[in-house]
Structure 1
Amino acid sequence: MMFWVIAAALGLACCAVLALAFLRAPARLAGSNDEQRGDVAIYKAQLTELDRDLEAGAISEEEAEAARAELGRELLRNRDRAPDAAAPGRASKAIGIAMIPLVLVIAGVTYAVIGSPETPDLPISERPEVRQRAELLAAVSQAEQRLVQTPDDVRGWQVLGPIYMRLERYEDAANAFAKVLSLTEPTADMETNLAEALMFADEGRASADVLTLLRSAASRDPDHARSRFYLAGEATRTGQFDEAIALWQQVLDKSPADAPWLEIARAGLAFAEQQKTAGSAAPPLVDAPPGLAEDIAGLEAEDRQAAIRSMVEGLTERLASDGGTPQEWARLIRSRMVLGEPDLAREALDNGLEALDDQQDRDQLLALAEEIGLASDDQTPPAPEQEQ
């Protein structure tokens, strides 16, 4: 009932506004006193112009009299037409005002017939997008239950892997893709799928296992662009610009015209070429403070190298005094290697292994050392003694 009360109030308000507009409109139609005064002013101006022409000899007295008579008749005709011109305005006003309630009645009847004002909102659980996701999750649950009974069902794992990626369940996706690889002959796509899932699960980082999978995929299929795309990105990130340029070019050459990564590949190639031309042999600047990378990139090669070395030295001092995360120690180790300082990189590795308390964190640094070919003086440092 409340709906109809509100609808009626709004409809009446709209009708009042429209009726007011119609009532005010005739005051500005033809036949008004303002228009009559305007006609007289024009008549007087034309008479003045005739007198000037007569004095200048442009017309004769007879022609002037004839013109004055014609202007007078025209003024009378305009005054005679004024009431007739106003009549259609009054008729239009009456018709318009009469139509306003009629339109309101038609709209109300139409809605009463085909509308559903009492229909409640659709519950969230029944909305199409929510229902589709619920159905997808139910299907995934059923597939998982079947795979518990038949873990060697390759087709089941192949279906679940992409669905897990869509649901952002990256660890489950990695497990599914690994199952596929273990149950069938590996392909470049399968290995890249697993590498993608592992990277997404690790917040975009490319571990040694990921790089091994990507290199295997690239060597398995010489025309495989997707694996090369990730390898090119990692080479660019670590400052290996010669390798990055070659890989980006391969990605562009081997990708279909509608590949979603083409724009990124072009930008990556341009960046790698720019850094190579500038003579940059520096570690990646993606971890630098906002704005620092752009500032350093604008320096001359020698000044840029000095600025980067200063940044690395600052990181070294901070980690030595305050300690840091495994990622920060890894960044320092990579930076030293890219700067051509393997002894200092090995020293950073040893210091990181000694500073980190958690064995899993130390294992990450050891895996990095193995990846980049760096041996530590102490590969299995004992865990720090706990204070009594």
Structure 2
Amino acid sequence: MIDFWLAAGVLLLVALSFVLVPLLRARREQPEQDRRALNVALYQERLAELNTQQRAGVLTPAQLESGQAEAARELLTDTDGSQTASDVRLGRAVPLAAALLVPVLGLVLYLHYGASDQVELSREFAVPPTSVAQMTARLEQAVQMQPEAVEGLYILGRTYMAQNRPAQAAALFERAASLTGRQPEVLGQWAQALYFAAGRQWSEPIQALTDEALLGDPKEPTSLGLLGIAAFESQRFEQAIGYWERLLATLPDADPARTALQGGIARARSQLASADTPPASRPTPARAGLKVRVTLAPALAAKVQPGDSVFVFARAVSGPPMPLAVKRLTVADLPAQVELADSDAMMPQLKLSNFAEVQLIARISRAGQPTQGEWLARGAPIASDSAAVQQLMIDSPDL
């Protein structure tokens, strides 16, 4: 910031020169103006003396004329090369006051409305940090200066998680979630931070956050991984395998996280195999699966956008309103056929196979919210193990 203030000082001096230089020049001109006034007074006195002498008969008319000419030449000689004073001069008080008040006023306005702290921060960020602590300090300063910047909150939250500071990370993710309209990715990070801040103890608020995240995006990776970890640590190995397999299906082949995820699945299967009851004698639970073909009514083609979200889900006819299984598409994918199965369950205890009858629903939501949208299709109650392909045409307003 030193060079900034030096540059500001130089500009201030240049600006003051436009005010002070004319004032100083005017002060230098004052003695010259006084001298000219004295010369004029002496000239007039000389003329009066010559006239008096001519009336007294001391001077002849020729001598009077010669004396007047001589006095005029002396006056011209004394005033030769001097500049004529201006009739109107600026008072000294106004420019002096302006010279003092303008810089003070400018400084006050800059300190109030300026961005010197942001300038300093940008200069710091231009230099690569030399340590993790320095990088964290810069992020904290950026969040303090721009508390509404979601990206800064999110990055600092991830940094806190890497430093094993989950409680502080949870507070940042909560703020980010409120600013982003509760985006699934942020909700997943928030749930994960709360889980580790609570000493790996599962709770209803954490469950609600993961449910909401997966309702918005059934493939949200942080929530799937977290649910798998919680299930594994509570020895619900089959559920852990289900969550991790769903997560594994979303990862690219070259993703390094696949190796760790596959290792976790292998350990969960090993725990299942080492249980007291042999896997072969354990009853295999029925796995419900529904095939649904979703289409868009031709009359709505001009009223929707290709990027609008399409949520296809099943919920129990006699049971909780929470969807049992969800798939997310876009209008551009329609018509499309999807399959809803137990592996798509939002909560482990709420599976398709646990309910005899379900209702299928398809909803278009421009805002990406599965619970509310613009257009809707509702199916009639069907058996949860129905093998026939179910047809849903989105054609009704979502009231």
Higher strand share: 2
TM-score (structure 1 length as normaliser): 0.34
Higher helix share: 1
TM-score (structure 2 length as normaliser): 0.34
Higher relative contact order, structure no. (Cα contacts within 8 Å, ≥ 6 residues apart): 2
- The structure whose Rg is larger is 2
